[in-house]
Each structure stands twice: as C-alpha cells, then as structure tokens.
Structure 1
Amino acid sequence: MIRSLYSGISGLKSHQYKMDVVANNISNVNTIGYKSSRVNFEDLIYQKTNQSGVYPSYVGLGVNVSGVDTIFTQGGLKSTGRPLDVAIQGNGFFVLKDPVTTRTYYSREGVFYLDKDGYLINGHGYRVQDVNGADIQINNPEAVVTLTIQNDGQIKLVRSDGTTEFAGPIGLMSFKNPETLERIGQNVYSATIDTQTSFSSPVTPGQQGQGILVSGYLEMSNVDLASEFTEMIVTQRGYQANARVITTSDQMLEELLNIKR
C-alpha cells in the first residue's frame, strides 16, 4: 500500500522533470544553433516479495530520470544576407576562446562580428579560432571594402586599394562523443573529462568529414514543435496517471482505517 504512494511520487517528480525539458525545448524553438534535449527514464530498484519457489516475485519502487540527451541533428538554414552570419552544413563546431579566461568553448551559432582590433568574435566577445587554434584577426579592418567567408572557411578580403587578401581559415572541431559536452548557456558548449575530440586541433571545413560553411545563412534550432507538443501531452497524462495512483492509494488506506468503524 505505502509502496504505491512512493511510486506515484517518483512518477510525479520524473514527469515534472521531463516537462521542464520539453518547456525549455519549446522556449528555444527560434534560438540559433540550439539542439533539443530528450529525457530518459529508468525503473528503480525492486523488492523481492517471494523468497521461495522457482519464479520469485518482485515489486518495483517507481521511476527515475536516468539522463538527458542532447540531439545533435542538423537544423534548418535561414538566409540573412549578412556576410558574417555563418552556418555549418554538416558535422562540426566553431571553436571559440574567451580572451579573459582563455577558456575554450564550442558552438553551432555563427553570428560573428569584428571588434575594434579586428578580431573575429561572437556576440559575447569570444574569439573565433582558425585551423591552428589561433585567434582570427583582420589587419586594418577599416580599409576592408568587402568581406566574404568561403565554404572552406577562408575569409576573403578586398581592400579599398583593390588588393585581395585571405585570413583564417575558420577551424571546425568534432567529437567522438558529443553527448558528453557540457551545456554552458549562451549557445556554447564546454568539453568535460569524458569528451573525446576527433582531432588534436581544429580542421578545415569540408575536410576529414567536417561540414562546410555557408556564409549569409544561420542554422536554426532543430526543435520539432509537433514532436514537442506530443511529448507535452504524453508527459501531462503520465503526470495525471501518477497523481491518480496517489489518490487511489490514499482512498484504499482510508478504507482500511474505516474497517473498525
């Protein structure tokens, strides 16, 4: 009797956790480069109720959240027409470095800018790294008339005197187990002690299985609203079912207490 109460409570907690993840996915449906999350459940320990016989009996003690996976499928590309908006079509992450802490981050968001010193940065000031793991810097950015980023990550510059120069190329990094990346927020990930990179340093886009860069486009969120709303309904019904388990168990306890009356 009491076991069912605690099983119901574990179901409520687990389904509330799943609803939190679903809500976060929906809230980020228009976040550039966002990758959706998925909750996995697992059953808890079992109590053996029959100590004899060939086929022992067990009663489960509820459910628990075993983990939250990140789904790294490709998001759709949206045209912006801005040269410093870059989408990755295929595998790989941009490599970013915080100039203050020197910490390295990884991202699928390609909204870049040039700061006053000519460094290629993202919206939080993290510097984009080239294939050698160095900051990408444009000399005399005020003299640049046009700037284009090619599919292989090369940055083509045309200066006011008509000369053409190249910078970069922008490097991409991939991972053997990207699900171990830590989600920091601000559209960036950080490597953990379990993360294994596919290469010792960033590589050129389009090579060694890496995706290509598409300038003037941004990768949108890979959240599927139809799937998320379906998961919301399933989660809500699961929550209601577990609440009903608690209510029914309470009614059975009440009947037991009323036997002596």
Structure 2
Amino acid sequence: MLSVTMAALNASQKEMNVTSNNLANASTVGFKRSYANFGDVFSNDPASNPKTAVGAGVLLTSVARDTTAGALKATGRVTDLAIDGRGFFVTRDPAGTANTYSRAGNFSLDAQGFVVDPGGFQVMGFNDIAGTNSADLKPVQIPPVIDYTDADAEGVPLAGPDNGNPEELSLLQRFANPNGSGKIVLQGISISPKGEVQATYSDNKTYTLRFLAIGSFPNDGGLKATGNNRYTETGLSGAANLSIPGAPKAGNIMSGTLEQANVDITNELMDMIRSQQVYNGNARMLQTTIETVSRITDKI
C-alpha cells in the first residue's frame, strides 16, 4: 500500500509541476502547453493470478506538448511576425553553428540590421523563392544605412563598409546609387505573407532583401525544447523541410502580429485543483497507513 500511495503522490506532484509551468507561461509569445500522460502499473509477478491481480499504482509515462496554434494578436510592429498555419521560423545561434526553430516571432533589428529574436539568434531566409535547403539559408539583414564611399559608373560599390563578411558585401551589391557615392538611409520595412522582406531607402527605391525561411516537420511533437521557445529537430520529429511561407505544409506570414500561448488559464486552474485534490487524498492515505503500521508495531 505504501508503494502505491507514494507512486500516486509522485505522479500528482509531477502533474502539478506541468500545470504550473503552463500557467507561468500563459503570456509567453508562441508558448506551447504541455500535458502529462499516465499509465497504471500491475504486478509483474509471473505467479500472480490475472483474475485477482491488484494494481501497483500509477506511473508518469510521458510529458507531451500540445502543438495547436495559439490565438493571434495584432501589435502593429512590422518585425512582430506570426505564422498562420504550420511551420516554424528558422533561427541560428550567434555562433552560426546550428539551426533552431520557433513559433515566437517577437523579432527586432540589432545594430547591424540583422533580424534577431530576444536572445540574439538570427532569423534565417533565402535569397530567392527557389531556396529549399539549409545550404541556401542566410541571415535576414536590413542595413540601416548603405554607405557608398566609391562606385563605378553603374553605381556598384567598389568600396564600402566591410567587416570581412562576404555576405555583407553581397548584400550591398543589391543596391545601386546613381550618384556614385554617399549614403542611403532606411526609411521603412515591409514583410509580405509570402515572407518577402522589403526595405525602402532614402533613394526612394524598394529592395527585396530576403525571403523568410519556414521549417516544417513530419511530427511537431517530436521536436526537442531547448528553452526560450526554441526547438531542435530529433529522430522523432523527422528532418526539417525548408521552404518559403505559403509552400505546402508551410503557413503564411502575418506581419504586425504575434501568436499567443495556447494556454487556457481556466482549464489549467481546473487541472491544478483536480491534481491538488488527488495529491491531498493520497497524502491522507499515506498518513493513515503510517498511523496504522505504527499502532500494529506498538502492539507487537
């Protein structure tokens, strides 16, 4: 009896921990709630009679993730993005060594104009709509200023800001300054439902800089959570299928919008009350068992 009661207490405590984490993240952008799965335990004694076997308690079998989309909330900020449909934003760690995936689109521009998440992970995209593999991924950068210190007759910069990053020089060559020198300054940004990132500069021209990348998986629930609303692929999730927004199995982008947590506070509180009642009931059972054993021991 003691082992059954202890197993029940342990299971109830873990369920309350899961529910508490859901409630704590009810306001976290793009958060996906978790839920506990339990299984009953029976005696594994081969001599036991299956007709009279008594259960041996309960066991936490898994903590699964609810991958359904949360509600969408308009913010009016261009770099706040939500995916209307399946898929994840593709981000890369500051060291540039590994891709991570997220539904949280609360992005901003850093000092160099890279689109980043709150942890500094760069949002990835493609140069054009044909990009479909990891080798084609490039950081999404929207330079705040393009400085033409010199240019040829066609306006292609011969010298300019160069920090040794070939990708930065490639990006600068997308622009053409008819004056041959000087600066153009960022005036505005737009991001289309198909993930086309466009920037308008003080030369009154609008340039397409990147197409956002979307990663989709055969099994979203198999992704490994790494914290800060980021996930990495696993054998259970299957390999990422990279595409632009709007492709098969990839939703469209909604700029100026964020996906909220898929946590229903009322349901979570009801789950917490139920788990607490189960815990309290088993705690009383444990106390009764201890008192009974103590009385029996005293009489021996």
TM-score normalised according to structure 2 size: 0.79
Count of aligned pairs between the two proteins: 253
Aligned partner of 2:273 in structure 1 is: 233
Unpaired stretches in structure 1, ≥5 consecutive residues: none
TM-score normalised according to structure 1 size: 0.90
After superposition, the C-alpha distances for 1:110-142 in whole angstroms (9 at most, x for unaligned) are: 111222322221111111111432222234546
Deviation at 1:247, TM superposition (A): 2.3
Distance in 2 separating the partners of 1:144 and 1:44: 64
Given the alignment of the two structures, is residue 66 of structure 1 paired with residue 70 of structure 2, yes or no? no
- Contact in 2 for aligned 1:147/1:158 (Cα 8 Å): yes
Distance in 2 separating the partners of 1:258 and 1:99: 66
Task: Give the direction of change, closer, same or farther, for the CA distance of 1:51–1:122 in structure 2 (3 Å limit).
Answer: closer
Aligned partner of 1:178 in structure 2 is: 220
Aligned identity (percent) is: 32
- Contact in 1 for aligned 2:143/2:186 (Cα 8 Å): no
Distance in 1 separating the partners of 2:265 and 2:51: 45
Distance in 2 separating the partners of 1:156 and 1:141: 15
Aligned partner of 1:57 in structure 2 is: 52
Aligned partner of 1:155 in structure 2 is: 197
Given the alignment of the two structures, is residue 30 of structure 1 paired with residue 70 of structure 2, yes or no? no
Could you say what secondary structure the match of 1:206 adopts?
coil
Aligned partner of 2:41 in structure 1 is: 44
Distance in 2 separating the partners of 1:168 and 1:189: 23
Could you say what secondary structure the match of 2:212 adopts?
coil
Could you say what secondary structure the match of 1:61 adopts?
strand
Aligned partner of 1:134 in structure 2 is: 138
Could you say what secondary structure the match of 2:138 adopts?
coil
Deviation at 1:163, TM superposition (A): 0.6
Distance in 2 separating the partners of 1:49 and 1:56: 13
- Contact in 1 for aligned 2:125/2:137 (Cα 8 Å): yes
Distance in 2 separating the partners of 1:250 and 1:139: 70
Task: Give the direction of change, closer, same or farther, for the CA distance of 1:164–1:204 in structure 2 (3 Å limit).
Answer: same
Specify the code of the residue in structure 2 equivalent to 1:88. I
Aligned partner of 1:94 in structure 2 is: 89
Deviation at 1:51, TM superposition (A): 4.8
The higher radius of gyration belongs to: 2
Task: Give the direction of change, closer, same or farther, for the CA distance of 1:66–1:141 in structure 2 (3 Å limit).
Answer: farther
Could you say what secondary structure the match of 1:169 adopts?
strand
After superposition, the C-alpha distances for 1:27-82 in whole angstroms (9 at most, x for unaligned) are: 11100000000011112241559756xx5421222111111011011111111111
Specify the code of the residue in structure 1 equivalent to 2:138. A
| Larger strand fraction of residues | 2
Deviation at 1:19, TM superposition (A): 0.6
Given the alignment of the two structures, is residue 244 of structure 1 paired with residue 284 of structure 2, yes or no? yes
Distance in 2 separating the partners of 1:59 and 1:47: 11
Aligned partner of 2:206 in structure 1 is: 164
Q: Post-superposition, which runs of at least 4 consecutive aligned residues in structure 1 deviate over 4 A?
A: 47-52, 139-142
Aligned partner of 1:80 in structure 2 is: 75
Unpaired stretches in structure 2, ≥5 consecutive residues: 127-135, 147-184
Specify the code of the residue in structure 1 equivalent to 2:207. E
After superposition, the C-alpha distances for 1:80-121 in whole angstroms (9 at most, x for unaligned) are: 111111111111100000131512111011111222322221
Task: Give the direction of change, closer, same or farther, for the CA distance of 1:62–1:141 in structure 2 (3 Å limit).
Answer: farther
Distance in 1 separating the partners of 2:51 and 2:105: 58
Specify the code of the residue in structure 2 equivalent to 1:203. S
Task: Give the direction of change, closer, same or farther, for the CA distance of 1:156–1:51 in structure 2 (3 Å limit).
Answer: closer
Deviation at 1:206, TM superposition (A): 1.3
Distance in 1 separating the partners of 2:250 and 2:260: 19
Root mean square deviation, CA, Å: 2.0
Task: Give the direction of change, closer, same or farther, for the CA distance of 1:6–1:205 in structure 2 (3 Å limit).
Answer: same
From 251, 254, 258, the counterpart of 1:214: 254
